[in-house]
Chains A and B, each alone.
Chain A
């Protein structure tokens, strides 16, 4: 098992550009999460999904969109990149509500 895989690892965007952060897991997990982590801060939940076709907002959803068309994939879309979205983004998955979550290694995004 590869676990949770995030691509790309690093990306620099210009203000106003758009991009999709990819997240895929091969553990047949139902729950998937997207977090952002600003320098020196904790993780903030952006969006989450409890299964294919179901997504919900977290703490900081503005400026982002998600979809969950398959169990494996949970991409995060930035439509109009802003400097405030400079952060490290982590994707995670878990099998059920009360089971351990596995995290990817993160995508470091810089918006200039």
Chain B
């Protein structure tokens, strides 16, 4: 019901860019794409969100395809502290809630 598909796990070398994909082929025109991460068993942490245009902040960049059916979260220089589960979330149109899928477990290796 989360309406997103992510790979269950990925590895990345420390210092390299981590590119995390997300498929959201049923996204509606006015729904945003959100990314959160959860480090170990802490509360999830907001990373970034976007509607149509690519977005960048101090943590990451978000690239959304022109048809909006998929997006990629980019951590430009991954560190060991970026090891976490990353969640891509799309709200279901007409709903006011926020539902998580299974996410991608990113492991950054030395």
Query: Footprint of B on A, CB under 8 Å?
Result: 4, 31, 33, 35, 41-45, 48, 50, 56, 58-59, 88, 90, 92, 94, 97-98, 100-106
Query: Footprint of A on B, CB under 8 Å?
Result: 1, 32, 34, 36, 41-46, 49, 85, 87, 91, 96-103
Q: How far is the CB of B6 from chain A (nearest CB, A)?
A: 10
Prevailing SS type, chain A contact patch: strand
Specify which of B43, B97, B101 is in contact with A48 (CB 8 Å cutoff): B97
Q: Check if A42 sits within 8 Å of B100, measured CB to CB.
A: yes
Output the nearest chain B residue to A99 by Cβ-Cβ distance: B49
Residues of B within 8 A of A100 (CB): 34, 46, 49
A-B CB contact pairs (8 Å), 20 listed: A4-B43, A31-B96, A41-B102, A42-B87, A42-B100, A43-B44, A45-B97, A45-B98, A45-B99, A45-B100, A48-B96, A48-B97, A48-B98, A50-B96, A56-B97, A58-B99, A97-B96, A98-B32, A98-B49, A105-B42
Q: Quick one: given A42-B87, A50-B96, are A103 and B43 in contact (CB under 8 Å)?
A: yes
Residues of B within 8 A of A4 (CB): 43
Specify which of B34, B46, B100 is in contact with A102 (CB 8 Å cutoff): B46
Per the bound structure, the CA–CA distance linking A28 and B42 in Å amounts to: 23
Specify which of A33, A56, A105 is in contact with B98 (CB 8 Å cutoff): A33
Per the bound structure, the CA–CA distance linking A101 and B37 in Å amounts to: 12
Residues of A within 8 A of B98 (CB): 33, 45, 48, 92, 94, 101
Per the bound structure, the CA–CA distance linking A100 and B50 in Å amounts to: 11
Q: How far is the CB of A62 from chain B (nearest CB, A)?
A: 16
Output the nearest chain A residue to B42 by Cβ-Cβ distance: A105
Q: Check if B43 sits within 8 Å of A104, measured CB to CB.
A: yes
Q: How far is the CB of A59 from chain B (nearest CB, A)?
A: 7
Output the nearest chain B residue to A59 by Cβ-Cβ distance: B99
Q: Top 6 nearest A-B pairs by Cβ distance?
A: A103-B43, A100-B46, A43-B100, A48-B97, A42-B100, A42-B102
12 further interface pairs, Cβ-Cβ under 8 Å (given A59-B99, A102-B46, A106-B42)? A4-B43, A31-B96, A41-B102, A42-B101, A45-B97, A45-B99, A48-B96, A90-B43, A98-B32, A98-B49, A100-B34, A101-B46
